[in-house]
Structure 1
């Protein structure tokens, strides 16, 4: 997965494609008049089912993040370390740390997806947003592909069987051999920044998060452990990687929003086992006050190829699994961020100008903006300061891997902003 691959053709779909139920049109030759009338009648105008918070998932977002994963280390094919190894840690794992560059692209929503009810449960019409996530490791400066994930976010309407409110679901395929169906719900929008709880990558025994085992490769200054990169001295000196990030990867998310003006946050919580998320998160991560939203406490889950499970129905805590991904919890924060932008004088006929916000110096990741005015003879924008709001997506995800008798948290976090320059609204650039 370290070579660029042309994905355009593989993921192209017919323009304006959407899903609809099959029309109930008369097709009985014995009733030609009724059939003709049905064909002549204009089709009813139906709007696609609501997407709720998923309506923010549109276009392409890019950004940076941080990934941590304890990889199994086979005695038959051990991972070579660049330097000497002097550690009391067992030789069954390698901690890999990745500074990441990510692209998350959303396609048009799929429209009305009919799911048929039974008995007293009416048909349910879902909607969905396809997405494609690609992640490169940029720790050494040269991008190396480490993750590729096509999937669909689903908006599920309220139902009576089961008795659930509006919920969301994420279906994803990961090329290591795992697919997921994670269910969840969204909290009502809250004013201001999110509260982002800590997340712990420390492995534990027997499926019990309270029985943790701290490994020496989790100490940033220890340069003789089984870890990639093994020596973090240069990365720490540059500030790109810190002990705080290893101890709590959500530190990266909090650093992103520390100096941002965020007017609103929507929190989406999902899990492949939403009825009993593992202690330590990222569930729960709800801003006070208020309880967690209701979400289905059954169905969903993960599915792995036989190689990952190692044996039929592997027991909790590893068994002979090679790397059994048995649970995923994730929190997405959809934030409305306000940026201050200094727009220069734009005389008549000025082509669009790409601008950076004032916050660029103290916020790790910012989008760019484009100022464009229509051509009106003798009229232009005199220049000035404007404030523009746009969407930022942050997420924290924890996948639980079982191997070598332990459960190993695999944590990924990222902050994402619009990839294309954000247009400055016309009303903020009056002509004079």
Structure 2
């Protein structure tokens, strides 16, 4: 266990500290998940005194997923073209121009993404022939998303699932991968598989184009609803004037939802980034443009009966949910915080960072307990973990594929306990 984890465990297990932290938890309209401390997945052995292979007295590694602990919360943006059938058409406040078979829904969102504090353990996947058994490990999670576009929260997404790390295999010849398995109440389950990379500095977040398209080469079909300044289109909200004035929804955001993510970190000092990129099979150009190593999705009958296959997606049965790709950036953010005067015997301090002007949520905070008195304010350097993600789901209806894009920036809802080493050079 790391120095930081030890320090955090000692402080957070103190009932006095738990009471201190209670009012600092942000965004209570979300969800949380907990794994019983005594639960540990492992193989069942035929001979209790022996193991089938080398001793596994510790959990299998989770690699980059180790950062997925506790509850994160924040703000985001969601863009989805949804069918507008003749049986139950969507009623809009003003007359609309353009094709009426779809509605572009735009959502300003707040969400929680909650992970268990512990991992599952050693999940045996049995090999056959020359393929040895593999031991997977993972972190269960639950995600809840609210639309807050008009101020009143409305739930628009709930997702329980598991992140896994899969060791390298010889059959098939694939290196270490990560997997996201999710269940979505619309009637879809997804399995996304991919890899991770680690780099110094901030992430490189590319643009994403949400324009629907016809063919394998991505010939786009742009709708009037994608013009932010037009108040008479098949869109929710129909009039974006107030949102354009406040900077919450702009033409740049509609053209590239990932601009929300880049704006959120524009003034942050990100010193390290882990990038996790996973996708379902098959690979679908142009937006699901990473090689798929496995995975897929399954849908209820309603989602297959009310869909068709565009020309570039051969095969049966038809799928409304054609595929998905998601990229998670796990960022280490460096902060400078000021510690006020601290006297011996004082309770620990909760010190917030400056709030993010883009997100409009409570700032990340730190639980500070100096090991000695501080006679005058000092500035120290601390680090936090931040999660950003961008997800593209391809929906099929009519003659088109419709990119459904969701993005968010999230930080820990619990004050972070810095490692004790931060006091080493403080005088």
TM-score above 0.5, yes or no: yes
CA apart distance, 1:182: 0.6
Change (3 A) 1:361 1:134: closer
> SS of the residue aligned with 1:139?
coil
Tell me, yes or no, if the aligned pair for 1:95 and 1:217 is still in contact at 8 Å. yes
Deviations, residues 42-73 of structure 1 (Å, cap 9, x unaligned):
x9562211111111111111111100000111
* Residue in structure 2 matched with residue 122 of structure 1 by the alignment: 132
Aligned counterpart for 1:407 among listed residues 391, 401, 417: 401
CA distance in 1, matches of 2:132, 2:422: 47
Deviation of the 1:210 alpha carbon: 2.0
* CA deviation after TM superposition for structure 1 residue 23, in Å: 2.4
- Select which of 203, 211, 224 maps to 2:219: 211
SS in 1 for 2:86: coil
Q: Is the 8 A contact 1:71 1:95 kept in 2?
A: yes
Aligned to 2:94: 83
Matched, 1:191 2:200: yes
Q: Secondary structure of the residue that 1:95 maps to in structure 2?
A: strand
How far residue 402 of structure 1 moved from its aligned partner, in angstroms, is 0.3
Q: CA deviation at 1:308?
A: 0.7
Which residue matches 1:292?
Answer: none
Distance 1:5 1:102 in 2: 8
Is 1:23 the counterpart of 2:42? The answer is no
Distance verdict in 2 for CA 1:122–1:321, change over 3 Å: closer
Report the number of matched residues.
392
Please name the residue that 1:289 is paired with: none
User: After the TM superposition, which residues 340-359 of structure 1 pair with which residues of structure 2 at under 5 Å, given as runs?
Assistant: 340-358=336-354
Matched, 1:369 2:366: yes
1:226-237 equivalence runs, <5 A? 226-237=234-245
Distance 2:187 2:106 in 1: 21
CA distance in 2, matches of 1:307, 1:93: 18
Which whole-Å CA distance do the structure 2 matches of 1:362 and 1:143 have between them? 19
| Correspondence for 1:240 | 248
> Which residue number in structure 2 is paired with residue 34 of structure 1?
none
User: What is the 5 A alignment of 1:40-59?
Assistant: 46-59=57-70
RMSD: 2.8
2:230 maps to which residue? 222
Q: CA deviation at 1:209?
A: 5.1
Q: 1:369 to 1:215 in 2, by over 3 A?
A: same
Distance 2:331 2:400 in 1: 36
2:165 to 137, 146, 155: 155
The answer to whether the 8 A contact 1:346-1:380 is kept is yes
Taking the TM superposition and a 5 Å limit, the aligned residue runs for 1:370-389 are 370-373=367-370, 379-380=373-374, 382-389=376-383
- Paired with 1:143 and 1:266, the residues of 2 have a C-alpha distance of 31
For 2:230 and 2:329, locate their aligned partners in 1 and report how far apart those are by CA, in whole Å.
Answer: 34
Are 2:302 and 1:302 aligned? no
Rounded Cα–Cα distance in structure 1 between residues aligned with 2:399 and 2:81: 13
TM-score, normalising length from structure 1?
A: 0.84
The answer on whether the counterparts of 1:322 and 1:403 sit within 8 Å (CA) in structure 2 is no
Q: Which moved more, 1:341-350 or 1:121-130?
A: 341-350
Please tell me whether the aligned partners of residues 133 and 150 of structure 1 are also in contact (alpha carbons under 8 angstroms): yes
* Residue pair 2:30, 2:144 contacting (<8 A) in 1 also: no
Residue 103 of structure 2 is matched in structure 1 by 94
In the other structure, the counterpart of 1:61 is 72
What's the offset of the Cα at 1:83?
2.0
Structure of higher CA gyration radius: 1
For normalisation by structure 2, the TM-score amounts to: 0.85
Closer, same or farther in 2 for the Cα pair 1:345/1:96, shift >3 Å? Answer: same
User: Is the alpha carbon distance of 1:362 and 1:97 closer, same or farther for their aligned partners in structure 2, counting shifts above 3 Å?
Assistant: closer
How big is each residue's C-alpha offset from its partner over 1:69-122, in whole Å with a ceiling of 9 and x where there is no partner?
00111111001102222x1x2111000000110100111210000000000111
Change (3 A) 1:101 1:225: same
Structure 2 residue aligned with 1:335, among 294, 319, 331?
A: 331
Structure 1 residue 355: deviation in Å? Answer: 2.0
Contact 2:166/2:178 (8 A) holds in 1: yes
Give secondary structure in 2 for the equivalent of 1:64: strand
Relative distance call for 1:325 and 1:381 in structure 2 (3 A) is farther
Deviation at 1:404, TM superposition (A): 1.5
Compared CA separation, residues 75 and 45, structure 1 to 2 (3 A):
closer
Distance 1:84 1:359 in 2: 40
Shift in alpha-carbon separation, 1:106–1:13, aligned structure 2, 3 A: closer
| SS across alignment from 2:92 | coil
Deviation of residue 358 (structure 1)?
4.0
- Conserved in 2, the CA contact under 8 Å of 1:271 and 1:277? no
Q: Distance in 2 between matches of 1:401 and 1:74?
A: 15
